[in-house]
Amino acid sequence: MNNLVSIVIPTKNEEKNIRNLLFAISLVFVGRRQYETIVIDDGDDKTKAIALELGAVVIFGRHKGLGQAILDGIEKSQGSIVVVMDADLSHLPSVIPDLVKAIVHDGYDMAIGSRYIKGGKTEGWEFTRRIVSRVACLLALPITSVKDATSGFFCFRKSLIDGVKLEPSSWKTMLEILLKTKPIRVTEVPITFVVRKEGKSKFNRKQVIAYIRHLVLLTVYKYQKLLKFGIAEGIGTLIVFALVWLITERWGLWYITSLAIATIIGFFFKYVANTLWTFKVNEDPKSANYEWNSFYKGSLLQKWWKRSIAKTIWQWMPNASSLLDIGCGSSPIITNYHGKDIWGIDTNQGKLDFMKTKCPEHKFVNTDIMSFKKEQFDHVLCIEVLEHLNNPEQTIKEMTWVVKNGGQVIIATPDYSKWLWRMAEKFTPYKEEHIYQFTKEKLEEMCKRHGLKPVRHKYIAGCDLCEEFIKVA
């Protein structure tokens, strides 16, 4: 992560405010981090000339709405942290350090300048404008718990939007980013919103309509799986009714027989429709965010499976001061821990880089286990890794080497003695990479040879073994 902060400022005829704003921003950053200002100017006054004079990067042109202007500014930005704010001095530059601090030092993915939390307020607004703003935030409650959902003053890690398609149809780009990137850590920072003193407000009825339309699109986006599921189930039910009528009335079979046949066909249709349409995840298992997306955006079964493993680990290991996660991939499991010596290792550099953006306080490296000190860690995780190795016993030996006496090792691997797994494996994206076929007995025997004593175990879906071991002297 570089140290540059990019401040994106969309403007339209703001020549009376832009000089004071850019000067105030420069004062805020004296003795602080490096920054750049990006002014997106869609007006026809002197805003562009003044911004260039004061050293800002200027994007000039006619954009299709404020949302697109902001996206163009974000795309042009060079910083790892992006701040978006208005140009009319309604957003006070003095708040910028608080927003940046929430990202850099407190580990949040997004920080939102909020008028509607304790310490936040608006000054100079008419009663009607206050009501409109409050109603707009209330309308957003079905899709976000953020109290100031219409804020235009926010800060986020730029890596958050990597690979995400953003199409804001209103000026509320923050809401678009919030919904589509699904940041794990979001905070609201209190701000005082000040009514502009110079220039003309751009707020009008057209913007209200655009916001409502945008809100509808985002609601559909958030609940698209539920809507697809409902459509698939509805069509499947209609198929059942149609087949019962057809088989009973036209073919003359007993209605119980008709119902049985129709139910089986309808069930098959629903299964195929939901698998190939509703819960389809178009991702390569080797992609940087595969495990992350499986945990948060996968099918119902996929999310349940991944989260069941994570909850088991978090229950058995609620805290960790020093932890090594072997083959961490982009799994969110490690995000639950906040010790000073937390490491994730993997051979996929893309996944490591992805996790660095999610957990900048942890260390993610492409290295082997023996590069660490003997008995360095209190805890070691090895989740869904051993079955991919030609010599898993060597890895177990190395895990024993880096964990302290009395330290905890948690291993998760499929149990091939379970017929459920032998069936489920056919539907996993990694099935061709499973080399070693473990059973609970084989795993425990292998671990005991190297000083790991079994403590407890649990099966996920009756076939995926999750087992805890303690290193004994």
Assigned token pair, 438: 């473990």
Query: Position of tokens 């991702």?
Result: 283
At residue 150, the pLDDT reads 92
At residue 202, the pLDDT reads 67
CB 271 within 8 A of CB 232: no
What pTM does this model have? Answer: 0.61
CB 118 within 8 A of CB 49: no
Q: How much is the CA Rg of the chain, to the nearest whole Å?
A: 27
pLDDT along the chain (473 residues), means of 10: 87 93 94 91 91 93 78 92 95 96 91 96 90 93 93 92 79 89 90 86 78 90 90 94 93 90 92 80 75 82 90 94 95 91 94 91 94 96 94 96 97 94 77 85 96 96 95 89
Assigned token pair, 210: 């655009």
User: Residue 295 and residue 281: Cα distance in Å, rounded?
Assistant: 12
φ/ψ of 303, rounded to 5, equals: -65, -45
φ/ψ of 285, rounded to 5, equals: -55, -20
At residue 227, the pLDDT reads 92
User: Residue 349 and residue 318: Cα distance in Å, rounded?
Assistant: 28
At residue 187, the pLDDT reads 96
Assigned token pair, 129: 């404008």
Q: What angle separates helix 224-245 from helix 205-222, to the nearest 10 degrees?
A: 60
**Which secondary-structure segment (H or E) carries 26?**
helix 18-28
Q: Count Cβ atoms within 10 A of the Cβ of residue 156 and give its class: 0-12 exposed, 13-18 middle, 19 or more buried.
A: buried
Strands (E), 12-150: 35-41, 57-60, 81-84, 110-114, 121-123
φ/ψ of 55, rounded to 5, equals: 90, 10
At residue 431, the pLDDT reads 63
φ/ψ of 114, rounded to 5, equals: -120, 135
**Alpha-helix runs per DSSP H in 223-330:** 224-245, 255-273, 290-297, 300-316
At residue 281, the pLDDT reads 61
At residue 207, the pLDDT reads 82
What are the tens digits of pLDDT across the range 9-36? 999 999 999 999 999 999 999 888 899 9
**Which secondary-structure segment (H or E) carries 69?**
helix 66-76
User: Residue 248 and residue 400: Cα distance in Å, rounded?
Assistant: 67
φ/ψ of 223, rounded to 5, equals: -105, 25
What are the tens digits of pLDDT across the range 165-189? 888 777 789 999 999 888 888 999 9
At residue 449, the pLDDT reads 96
Q: Which residues pair with 56 in a beta bridge?
A: none
At residue 46, the pLDDT reads 93
Please count the other Cβ atoms lying within 10 Å of the Cβ belonging to residue 294.
23
Assigned token pair, 251: 């073919």
Which residues have a Cβ under 8 Å from the Cβ of 28 and sit 6 or more positions away?
A: 93, 94, 96, 97
User: Residue 63 and residue 26: Cα distance in Å, rounded?
Assistant: 27
At residue 437, the pLDDT reads 92
Amino acid identity, residue 413? T
User: Residue 310 and residue 384: Cα distance in Å, rounded?
Assistant: 12
**Alpha-helix runs per DSSP H in 86-223:** 96-104, 127-139, 173-181, 205-222
